[in-house]
């Protein structure tokens, strides 16, 4: 096999491997482009995280069922909050998505591959800063809305 054929074959193999490699989601562009910077710092810096949650906030505790429990009074507070760390999602098990609603609201959904469990967070820009304003912990997918 000529050397050029071998080089072409090697280049194609590298291209296939690079195309199959999972990449982190791209940072949003435009008016919400600063969200990616906030999101990374929110998970890395615990003090920053606590400062960017206007407690108490609405949401749902882990494995709750709206139909079986009266959760109307539930709120996340500084006292019942567990710090959120960077997500290490197994892409085969969970799918993470972000939906920008206008310039000042970002909704993050993390759904199990079979669709039975989900978690949701809503972030809002207030002034020049982003804040976590809603958190539904891991629950049956129908419950997190």
Report CA-CA distances (Å) from 110 to 50, 79, 139, 140, 144. 22, 24, 11, 12, 10
Phi, psi torsion values for 106, nearest 5 degrees: -130, 130
Domains of the chain by start residue, with CATH: 33-140 (3.10.450.410)
What is the predicted pLDDT for the residue at 40?
95
**List of residues 6+ apart from 46 with CB closer than 8 A:** 83
Asked whether the beta carbons of 132 and 53 are under 8 A apart, the reply is: yes
pLDDT at 14: 37
Say what the pTM is. 0.74
Q: What is the pLDDT of residue 80?
A: 96
DSSP 79-133: TT----------TTTEEEEEEEETTTEEEEEEEETTSSEEEEEEEEEETTEEEEE
What's the confidence (pLDDT) of residue 43?
96
Residue 5 has a pLDDT of 41
Where the chain has pLDDT below 70, the residues are 1-31, 65-70, 91, 143-145
Instruction: Give the pLDDT confidence score for residue 29 in this predicted structure.
Output: 53
């Amino acid at each position: 096999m000529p050397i050029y054929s071998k080089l072409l074959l090697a280049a194609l193999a590298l291209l296939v491997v690079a195309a199959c490699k999972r990449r982190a989601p791209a940072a949003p562009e435009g008016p919400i482009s600063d969200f990616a910077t906030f999101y990374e710092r929110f998970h890395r810096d615990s003090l920053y995280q606590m400062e960017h949650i206007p407690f108490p906030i609405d949401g749902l505790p882990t494995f709750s069922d709206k139909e079986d429990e009266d959760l109307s009074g539930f709120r996340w507070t500084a006292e019942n909050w567990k710090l959120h760390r960077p997500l290490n999602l197994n892409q085969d098990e969970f799918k993470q998505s972000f939906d920008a609603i206008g310039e000042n609201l970002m909704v993050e959904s993390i759904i199990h591959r079979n669709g039975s469990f989900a978690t949701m967070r809503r972030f809002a820009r207030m002034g020049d800063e982003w804040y976590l304003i809603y958190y539904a912990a891991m629950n049956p997918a129908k419950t997190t809305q």
